[in-house]
Structure 1
């Protein structure tokens, strides 16, 4: 089946687009349409594109680690292309109207690339180009990049583990149908605020144009420090919040189990 360019552009709803960062709305989505046209008509699936984006972000990070402007420039370009591919797999899924059971897995695996590979690569790039830190202490920038990567990935691991336990508990309690994402739509909730900050400041937002600025001004060190601080603070906030939520949920769940046990008797 031959898909037209209109099939691709019309598949994106206004609500879906509005949930994206300004950077994605301004150019990434638009750039993804012709790329989607090529891939979808070549027979690629959404999962295949996700795997390709995983490979792209890995090599982008490797290139950023070389002390060579050309390699770094290629790394920045490929990192931005990763974001385009991150939109392409979604475009293909919507156009083909195919619900894959493991699509979220492939998408998440590819999405963790910038949080790990790229953050470490920022540390190495900062090591090569820093003007804030003297050469004898620059090795610490690599360590900072590693700390930022671990904090970011660990934060998301905590988030996913909490959700897995929460869903499992809700299923046991017979309340699985009550699980919603209303908290991300409540503008006063922590989840909504965190989503907005991550959307516009994270890898799908300011991060991408900032890479170009850092490259041409030799300020990878400043970018690294800002994002590592953001990742570490986010990690601490998520851990504190979810530990508190888990404790409160455990108390409520145990109380419900006792009530249910009495009723069953």
Structure 2
């Protein structure tokens, strides 16, 4: 099996996870959607391990891997917003979809700005401070694990699905993701 095939498979799989969670109107189906996102999380590391094991790592392979990760970052939060809308009986439930979209966009936007900045001005110190995880201090590491969909976000979403408080998940992560986005962009552009 080739690493790029696994990356493409995980991209397709995360779209399916998003559709299942977004279409859910009850906890059982939502948990299946969550499990599919969890499966993506497991697949996310497989492509790189295969590439290293077979010694066939390529720049294009890294692009395929990033494609899967970027899709997951946005779709995870957006799907949570749609699910919260589906289970709500509030006339303002549509706001959950907007909040999920803003939260997902806030995960992606700083990465897009950082990649553009790297291409245009190089890997200068302010960009390294945002992108080089080996230089992260304790606070940045905690923030990364609390906000990364490969970290604590997935178990927190499962808890919120099981206890029917996905709307609070969306509010919390929208605020956190927007704050981190603003700080990241400030650090990149200063």
The Cα of 1:183 is off from its aligned counterpart by: 5.5
Matched with 1:223 is: 169
The Cα of 1:187 is off from its aligned counterpart by: 5.0
Q: Does 1:167 align with 2:122?
A: yes
**What is the SS of the residue equivalent to 1:65?**
helix
Q: Does 1:117 align with 2:75?
A: yes
Computing the radius of gyration from Cα coordinates, the structure with the larger value is: 1
Q: Does 1:102 align with 2:51?
A: no
The Cα of 1:180 is off from its aligned counterpart by: 7.8
Q: Does 1:126 align with 2:84?
A: yes
CA contact (8 A) 1:116 1:150 kept: yes
**What is the SS of the residue equivalent to 2:45?**
helix
Matched with 1:63 is: 20
Q: CA RMSD in A?
A: 2.4
The Cα of 1:50 is off from its aligned counterpart by: 0.6
**What is the SS of the residue equivalent to 2:59?**
coil
Structure 1 pair 195–113 and aligned structure 2 pair: CA distance change class (3 A): farther
Spell out, residue by residue over 1:82-123, the C-alpha distance to the aligned partner (whole angstroms, 9 max, x if none): 000001112211211222231110010000122211211111
Give the alignment partner of residue 75 of structure 1, picking from 30, 33, 51.
33
CA contact (8 A) 1:47 1:107 kept: yes
**What is the SS of the residue equivalent to 1:135?**
coil
Structure 1 pair 128–45 and aligned structure 2 pair: CA distance change class (3 A): same
Q: Does 1:151 align with 2:106?
A: yes
Spell out, residue by residue over 1:194-248, the C-alpha distance to the aligned partner (whole angstroms, 9 max, x if none): 355213541111111122212211111111111111111111111211121xxxx
Q: Does 1:136 align with 2:136?
A: no
In structure 2, distance between residues paired with 1:117 and 1:129 = 18
Q: Does 1:54 align with 2:2?
A: no
TM-score normalised by the chain length of structure 1? 0.64
CA contact (8 A) 2:18 2:79 kept: yes
TM-score normalised by the chain length of structure 2? 0.87
CA contact (8 A) 1:129 1:219 kept: no
Bigger relative contact order (CA 8 A; separation at least 6)? 2
